[in-house]
Amino acid sequence: MTEETFFSEQPIIGVSACLLGHNVRYDGGHKRDSFIAEILGREMEFLPVCPEAAIGLGVPRPMIHLVGDPRQPRLVGVQDPTMDVTRRMEAYAADQARQLNGISGYILKKNSPSCGMERVKVYAAESGGHCVRKGTGAFARVLMAQRPLLPVEEEGRLNDAVLRENFVNRVYVYQRWHNLHAAGLTPARLIAFHTDHKYLVMAHSQAAYQRLGRLLSNLSKSDLDKITHSYIHELMPALKRRVTRKRHVNVLQHIMGYLKKRIGSDDKRELSANIEAYRRGETPLVVPITLFRHYFRIHPDEYMSRQIYLQPHPDSLGLRNGI
């Protein structure tokens, strides 16, 4: 399959609007993130959302913060603690979680009492003082609770090359999942989806891949909905796991098995040397992957041509140059 057919449709992702350069912060400024706006922006369609502006707090606006129990804090004004916008924010987030049904991911602004995904400051008292970094922004908390399968990340964590690649991969998997439903789910299509993602899932967890395979082993039309539900609830968390070099090497060696009888001994040596150089951290993942794609172009293999692992996202993003 060519890059054009693989990624013909851009995934839609929600983004905290200040990260895209919108002047929506409490002080009227923004926190534009160039990786998101310029690199991801080439391949994804953004849906900018500023929850604080959307619930009518205005720009500029008084600062707000989280107060109380870190598991269920209130969102109140810093200067005026009687200004409690918790319910308004939760209602807005619940509404957005329902409305943004077609999105394939979400990027949130770190540390924000509304948008922060984790480690947001929660103050013990309205007056400030002691705080713990154990909170989740009021908007983010409801969004993630209502859409547990949605790939979500913070812009700060996206500075980590492995987390960055992981998030983008999950966005494209989730987009394919939407497309699978739009095309009409059948047992055959679900099995094909699973087959296409075999090596991608294996890189994250061999055990998860086996559990997913067992789920599909006796698939019939009558239990399709139940199994589909279990399948995606197993798949998306499994894809969150960090993939180490060792795991990638394991997958690359499996894939090499498909070329054994098709390429000569010099080519095999070159391929092995590239995998070893990757294992030692001397080259990024893109090097052995590019070589594999080259060999599969010369020696086409229907099964391998469908493997998402060899091209989980558009090459233009360059994400495998950094891992």
| Residues found near ligand SF4 in the complex (CB under 6 A) | 16-18, 24-25, 50-53, 109, 112, 114-115
CB of 173 to ligand SF4, least distance (A): 26
Q: Are 243 and 162 in contact (CB under 8 A)?
A: yes
CB of 17 to ligand SF4, least distance (A): 5
Name the residue nearer to ligand SF4 (CB basis): 14 or 314.
14
CB of 109 to ligand SF4, least distance (A): 3
CB of 21 to ligand SF4, least distance (A): 11
Length of the chain in terms of residues written:
323
- Give bridge partners of residue 254 from the DSSP assignment: none
Name the residue nearer to ligand SF4 (CB basis): 116 or 312.
116
Q: Report, in this order, helix, strand and coil percent for the chain, each rounded to 5.
A: 55, 10, 35
**What is the rounded distance in angstroms from the CA atom of residue 309 to the CA atom of residue 183?**
22
Cα four-point dihedral sign 291, 295, 298, 303: negative
Cα four-point dihedral sign 279, 284, 289, 294: negative
CB of 27 to ligand SF4, least distance (A): 9
Q: Which two structure tokens, joined as six digits, stand for 121?
A: 């400051």
Which residue do the tokens 């500023």 mark?
50
DSSP state, 236?
Answer: H
Q: Helix crossing, 286-298 with 265-279: angle to 10°? A: 160
Q: Which residues contact 178 (CB under 8 A, 6 or more apart)?
A: 102, 104
Name the residue nearer to ligand SF4 (CB basis): 76 or 235.
76
Q: Strand ranges (DSSP E) for the chain? A: 12-16, 45-49, 64-67, 74-77, 105-108, 120-125, 128-135, 152-154
Q: Which residues contact 21 (CB under 8 A, 6 or more apart)?
A: 30, 32, 37
Name the residue nearer to ligand SF4 (CB basis): 50 or 243.
50
CB of 232 to ligand SF4, least distance (A): 28
CB of 68 to ligand SF4, least distance (A): 19
- How do strand 64-67 and strand 12-16 relate by DSSP bridges? unpaired
Amino acid identity, residue 55? I
Name the residue nearer to ligand SF4 (CB basis): 20 or 310.
20
Name the residue nearer to ligand SF4 (CB basis): 23 or 283.
23
Name the residue nearer to ligand SF4 (CB basis): 131 or 286.
131
CB of 113 to ligand SF4, least distance (A): 8
Q: Are 249 and 282 in contact (CB under 8 A)?
A: no
Name the residue nearer to ligand SF4 (CB basis): 15 or 203.
15
